[in-house]
Structure 1
């Protein structure tokens, strides 16, 4: 089920910072997000709609300033958009359920992960649900 809401509805539900990142494709400053160095076991959900997107099993230390994952929970949980803003060629990652901006995915950077991908995701786009809270 895809969630469709107006900007007004999203503004009522999200903080100004959340709205800027999730709905306007903004980016939080590096090394400022709450999940950059988190090692807690659990699942990461979309902060806008609570869809489960990533797990701690795929989170790794990339030292890039944002939480990094080498794969989403399942490919149908995210969607990809070619992003040519800021003079760069990147692939934007969005929540497939509510179309909120999560971050970007990069390939071929040489990280020792099973997929050779780095999903560079804004902490403010996520909510961590610890495994012991499920």
Structure 2
């Protein structure tokens, strides 16, 4: 079977349930709900356009997807708040008076040429022990 016939057959498949056929329309449906359009009006329009779905099934589908949408928005909001707090903590560490490095050395000490040379020598001159058998 050729790739193009497989693709055309896959495109021809219909959603397994009537409610699933509404999934591509969800953003627009939620937009209309947010604007104040009632579910009953939206259901009536969909029925007129040929969507054969029970009104209670439609309402249940919208309710489930509204919950998913709210959970997604909440998790995104929580992630953003966490990132903001982390960036604020990073900014706090750069405030004047908070100029210590991880090893208890101040930034001014680390920038001192003599201390910097000692640090460089300390770390650059470390040699690894050769592995046995090489």
Decide which structure has greater strand share: 1
Asked whether the two chains share a fold, i.e. TM above 0.5, the reply is no
Decide which structure has greater helix share: 2
Q: TM-score, normalised by structure 1?
A: 0.23
